[in-house]
Amino acid sequence: MSKQRPLRILHCFRSPVGGIFRHVRDLVIEHSKAGHEVGIICDSSTGGEHEDSLFDEIRPYLALGLIRVPIRRSVSFSDIGVIWDTYKHIKSLRPDVLHGHGAKGGVLARLAGSALRVNRYRVARLYTAHGGSLHYSRSSLIGQFVLRMERLQEYFTDALVFICEYERDTYARKVGRPRTETRLIYNGIGERDFAPVPTRSDAVHYIYIGMLRDLKGPDLFIDAFAKAERILGRPLSALMIGDGPDRDKYRDMMVERGLGKRIGMLPAMRVQQAFAMAQNLVVPSRAEALPYIVLEGLAAGKTIIATRVGGIPEALGVDSAALVKPEDADDLARVMADAIRIPGWHDAVMPAIESVRSVFSASVMASDVLKLYRELLDTQHSQTTAAAS
């Protein structure tokens, strides 16, 4: 196969929100600009106006189109029909690369790719977990099932891509040492993101940006906010920006605790617009892989306060004073208060912008992913040639 031939690349994932969507958008743009034909298959029922506007931005880069089909979060019998419909779409697009992101995207990409391989169609099958199924515990029945399915699917996988060391180590611990090709390729953000975002004159003290679901810790944010007020001995202000299934629950929680007037809620918006609303960004997640919001916040010059989960220590520094114990609202409140009451705390604790840029660059990420695509396809070509001779 000629190294110069443009590739046909198809990304499969379930939910077009959050970090996975951001990751795919960056790959789409970078690879399209490099002359490759790229497409997306994802869920048709997730996302709103904000996500629709993000799709509109990348449509010019989607030479293979945008295909949206109903993909449920949980496993169900309806998945059989979805997999069949998805396979027909994929087959018609004749991709060189099928890259699945997240658990459901990984299943779709690898099953469809394997079906094509049975029909002697050469296609590279890749999977990036983005946390996903790796958040499950081996001690639960559902966790045992999900993690065993991950192991089984290695037989239908040409390469596993890990977005941080934590994800790679967690996979080896929970699923087992990989029996297929692996590559560590950090999440990266574009050069456009490395620009300070000034804080508005009417800014609040803290912002939470992300999905409104328990995994991301909005309830911990609310608890810690109230405790930070008590530590500092004065009222504070905050905003929770995002959408999700538990929005009403968190609103009720704030009202019950008398915080409804000091913590506002806004729908998902462009991250630069959100960053202008506060200097201090709180990431209270119970589990993560390597969240883009941390990288984007650092690049925008914001102060990040985050739980010590996933790959976040790889971005902030393993000994960073900005890291707090997971599931510990008291520790989170302490650091939230420190960020306000200690002069120069941001400059002393946050990593330098240049060190972030040198490791977490979208151009490096896309180049390394493309190199892996080429290597896998070249290997397949060599194997096919050897078998035919």
**Residue 80, number of CB atoms within 10 A of its CB:** 9
Q: Containing H/E element for 68?
A: strand 65-69
For the chain, how big is the Rg over CA atoms in Å? 22
Same domain for 220 and 306, yes or no, is yes
Residue 2 lies in a domain: no
Instruction: Look at the block and give the residue holding tokens 């393993």.
Output: 318
Per the DSSP assignment, residues forming a β-bridge with 227 are none
Residue type, 270: R
> Who wins on pLDDT, 346 or 211?
346
Number of domains in the chain: 2
Same domain for 318 and 366, yes or no, is no
Q: What's residue 2's pLDDT?
A: 45
Confidence of residue 84 (pLDDT cuts 50, 70, 90): confident
The mean pLDDT value for 121-129 works out to 93
Residue 181 lies in a domain: yes
For residue 83, is pLDDT > 80? Answer: no
Residue type, 168: R
Query: 225-236: per-residue pLDDT in tens?
Result: 999 999 999 999
Residue 270 lies in a domain: yes
Same domain for 183 and 295, yes or no, is no
Smallest CA-to-CA distance from 216 within 127, 353, 312, 317 is with 312
Q: What's residue 77's pLDDT?
A: 58
d(CA 297, CA 293): 6
Same domain for 76 and 16, yes or no, is yes
- Burial class from Cβ neighbours inside 10 Å (0-12, 13-18, 19+) for residue 259 reads middle
Residue 3 lies in a domain: no
> Who wins on pLDDT, 71 or 284?
284
Listing DSSP states for 81-143 in one string gives: HHHHHHHHHHHHH--SEEEEEHHHHHHHHHHHHHHHHHTT---EEEEE-SSGGGGS-TTSHHH
3-class SS of residue 63: coil
Residue 335 lies in a domain: yes
The mean pLDDT value for 80-102 works out to 88
Same domain for 145 and 175, yes or no, is yes
CATH number where 230 lies: 3.40.50.2000
Strand pairing report for 204-209 and 238-241: parallel
135-44-366-88 Cα dihedral, nearest 10 degrees: 110
The mean pLDDT value for 24-45 works out to 95
Same domain for 196 and 171, yes or no, is no
Same domain for 381 and 327, yes or no, is no
Same domain for 349 and 382, yes or no, is no
Same domain for 78 and 206, yes or no, is no
User: Domain span at residue 175?
Assistant: 8-188+361-388
Residue 219 lies in a domain: yes
Residue 1 lies in a domain: no
**Letter string b/e over residues 32-61, b meaning 16 or more CB atoms within 10 A of that residue's CB:** beeebbbbbbbbeebbeeebeebbeebeeb
Smallest CA-to-CA distance from 341 within 222, 217, 233, 188 is with 233
Same domain for 231 and 376, yes or no, is no
Same domain for 147 and 45, yes or no, is yes
The mean pLDDT value for 365-377 works out to 96
Q: What's residue 1's pLDDT?
A: 40
Same domain for 87 and 16, yes or no, is yes
